[in-house]
Amino acid sequence: MVDYNSLFIKHTDCNIHTITLIRDSILASSNKLQDKLNLLDEMEHLFSQMLDNSQSLTQFLNEVDTHFTHSREEIDDFSSWLKKIKDSASNIDRLSSQANLLSINSAIEAGHIGREGAGFSVLAQEMKKLSLEIQKQASSIASINNNLGARFIPVKETTEKNQQQVQQVKTLVEEGHQNLTSLSEQASELKHIFTFLSMQQFFNTVKLDHVLWKEAIYIHLLNNDDEHCVNQHTECRLGKWYYQGDGKKFAKTDAFRRLEEPHKLVHECGRLALKANIEDNQEAVAHYIEKMEQASVDVIKYVDVLLNLDNY
């Protein structure tokens, strides 16, 4: 006579082994995705630093550009004052020339008067000396003014050239900042995709864990094992994720809160079914297995809801 229990256990063990291989493969894939996520996290951090630095550089170049603008304005003001000084020196030279001509005419007139105009002649000579000295000083001022003007021309040209170069650099920096922003956004999008894939792989692993755990309950029932051979709901992969791991990212969601009770119930009913089996209470075994399967449906449902949340 065929021992159907032994046959069932044999083939169930084989199926469990196959599912375990699939689960381990998915888990390995999830771990590799997590490694990629760590690299993307580092990349995102570097992009953030680069964007901050380029923003600071743009601000600095704006300040330099403003400084050059003020410098050009001051140079233009200085050039304007040099022109005014030059105009004033020209006027002084013109007036001194007129004074000199007037002194010559006065000397001629004094000579016509004779001895009575001697004092006036001395005054005319002094006036001539003064006008010549004024002309000399005016000429010196004009020369200094011309030298200053000549020296400021290259300063002004250099300032304008430097400002143009700063503006060109600023344009390049702004373009670079825009490119960095675009790359940062693409990296963030890629990170979002990898995070979703990683969570998808993890939740699929959890679902396979769940199936394997239930299959183990049936094997334990056939082997008449007691309830101590299975773990608590806080000790499985899902439980550790829920209470100790990244589950806290979903803590504020309704699906996360609803997941706890059916998950706990699956483990409790499985253990109670094993205990009832040892006590040879088959009615209780059937009752707890039914509750375990019903709760299992809710566990899978809420895990799928979490997977489809944009919460990564």
pLDDT tens-digit series, residues 85-104: 667 667 766 766 666 666 66
The answer to whether 82 and 149 have CB atoms below 8 angstroms apart is yes
In a domain, 250, yes or no: no
pLDDT score for 5: 61
Judged on CB neighbours under 10 Å (0-12, 13-18, 19+), 39 is exposed
For 112-157, the pLDDT digits (tens) are: 565 555 555 665 566 666 666 666 766 777 676 676 666 667 766 7
Domain of 76? 4-223
pLDDT reading at 11 higher than 60: no
In a domain, 170, yes or no: yes
The answer to whether 263 and 233 have CB atoms below 8 angstroms apart is yes
The answer to whether 299 and 203 have CB atoms below 8 angstroms apart is no
Output the domain CATH number for residue 139: 1.10.287.950
Total domain count, the chain: 1
Give the best-scoring range by mean pLDDT among 24-38, 45-59, 79-93, 238-252: 238-252
In a domain, 267, yes or no: no
In a domain, 19, yes or no: yes
pLDDT score for 235: 92
Q: What is the pTM of this model?
A: 0.57
d(CA 45, CA 79): 51
pLDDT score for 198: 81
